[in-house]
Chain A
Amino acid sequence: MENLNIEATKYTPKIFFDAQNHVLDIRGMSYPENTSVFYDPVFSWLEEYLRQVERHQEIIVNIELSYFNSSSSKVVMDFLDLFEEVSSEGKNITVNWIYDEDIEEALEFGEEFGEELESVTFNLVRKIDI
Chain B
Amino acid sequence: MKKAGDSVFNKEYEIYEAAEAMLKKEEVEPGKLFEQFMVLLKHYKRLLRQIEIVTRLSDNQQMKLNKILERLGCYVSFQLFRKITDGKDKGEIKTQRKKLTVFFSDLKDFSYVSSHIEGEMLAQFLNSYLEAMTQIVIKWKGTLDKYMGDAIMVFFGDPEFTSDEDHALRCVSMAIEMRDKMKELRRKWYGLGFQEPLHFRVGVSTGYCTVGNFGSSERMDYTIIGSAVNLASRLETAADLDEILISHETWSYVKEKIICEPPHALHLKGFHHPILAHKVLNIKKKDKDSMVILNDDTRGLNLKIDFSKISKEELLAIIYNLKPESELKTTDHSD
Interface residues of A (CB under 8 A from B): 34-37, 39-40, 70-71, 73-75, 77-78, 81, 104-105, 108-109, 112-113, 116
Is the pair B46, A35 in contact by a Cβ cutoff of 8 Å?
A: no
Return A19 CB to nearest CB of chain B, in Å.
23
B10 within 8 A of A: yes
Answer whether A104 and B56 are a contact pair too, CB < 8 Å, given A36-B8, A37-B6, A78-B11. Answer: no
Chain B CB count within 10 A is highest, among A71, A73, A113, for A73
Contacts of B6 in A (CB 8 A): 34, 36-37
> A118–B7 Cα gap in the complex (Å)?
28
* B83 is an interface residue with CB less than 8 A from chain A: no
Q: B interface, how many residues as a size bin?
A: 10 to 19
**How would you classify the secondary structure of chain B's contact residues: helix, strand, loop or mixed?**
helix
Bound: A3/B56 CA distance, A? 35
Nearest-neighbour CB distance to chain A for B60, whole angstroms, equals 7
Residues on B facing A (Cβ under 8 Å): 6-11, 46, 49-50, 53-54, 56-58, 60-61, 64
Given A73-B54, A104-B64, A108-B60, verify A116-B8 contact (CB < 8 Å): no
Determine whether the beta carbon of A75 is less than 8 Å from that of B60. no
User: What residues of chain A lie closer than 8 Å to B7, measured between beta carbons?
Assistant: 36
B residues near A70, Cβ cutoff 8 Å: 54, 57-58
A81 and B46: CB pair below 8 A?
yes
Q: Which residues of B contact A78 (CB under 8 A)?
A: 8, 11
Tell me whether A77 and B50 are in contact in the complex, defined as CB-CB below 8 angstroms, given that A34-B6, A36-B6, A37-B6 are known contacts.
yes
User: Which residues on B sit within 8 Å (CB–CB) of A105?
Assistant: 57, 60-61, 64
The answer on a CB contact under 8 Å between A112 and B53 is: yes
Q: Is the Cβ of B57 less than 8 Å from the Cβ of A109? A: yes
Give 17 A-B pairs besides A36-B8, A74-B54, A105-B60 with Cβ atoms closer than 8 angstroms: A34-B6, A36-B7, A36-B10, A37-B6, A40-B10, A70-B54, A70-B57, A71-B8, A74-B9, A74-B50, A77-B50, A77-B54, A78-B11, A104-B64, A105-B61, A112-B56, A112-B57
Contacts of A39 in B (CB 8 A): 8
**Closest CB in chain B relative to A87 CB, distance in Å:** 15
- Name the residue in B8, B11, B61 with the highest tally of chain A Cβ atoms < 10 Å from its Cβ: B8
**Considering only CB atoms, which chain B residue lies closest to A84 in the complex?**
B46
B53 contact from A36, A71, A104, A113, Cβ within 8 A: A113
Most buried by A among B50, B54, B60: B50
Residues of chain A lying within 8 A (CB to CB) of residue B53: 73, 77, 112-113
Residues in B whose Cβ lies below 8 Å from that of A108 = 57, 60
How far is the CB of B7 from the nearest CB of chain A, in Å?
A: 5
Q: How far is the CB of A116 from chain B (nearest CB, A)?
A: 6
- Minimal Cβ-Cβ distance residue in B for A73: B54
Q: Which residues of A contact B58 (CB under 8 A)?
A: 70
Residues on B with beta carbons closer than 8 Å to the beta carbon of A104: 64
A112–B52 Cα gap in the complex (Å)? 10
Chain B nearest Cβ from A94, distance in angstroms: 21
Question: Which partner residue on chain B sits nearest A113 by CB separation?
Answer: B53
* Chain B min CB distance to A117 (Å): 11
A77 to B53, CA, bound (A): 9
Hey, which chain A residues are within 8 Å of B60, CB to CB?
105, 108
Q: Which residues of A contact B10 (CB under 8 A)?
A: 36, 40
- Please, which residue of chain B has its CB at the minimum distance from the CB of A109? B57
The chain A residue sitting closest to B6, CB to CB, is A36
Contact with B8, one of A75, A109, A113 (Cβ below 8 angstroms): A75
Residues B64 and A116 in contact, CB atoms below 8 Å apart: no
Complex: A75 Cα to B58 Cα, angstroms: 15
Q: Could you jot down 18 A-B contacts, CB within 8 Å? A: A36-B6, A36-B7, A37-B6, A71-B8, A73-B54, A74-B8, A74-B54, A75-B8, A77-B53, A78-B8, A81-B46, A105-B57, A105-B61, A108-B57, A109-B57, A112-B53, A112-B57, A113-B53
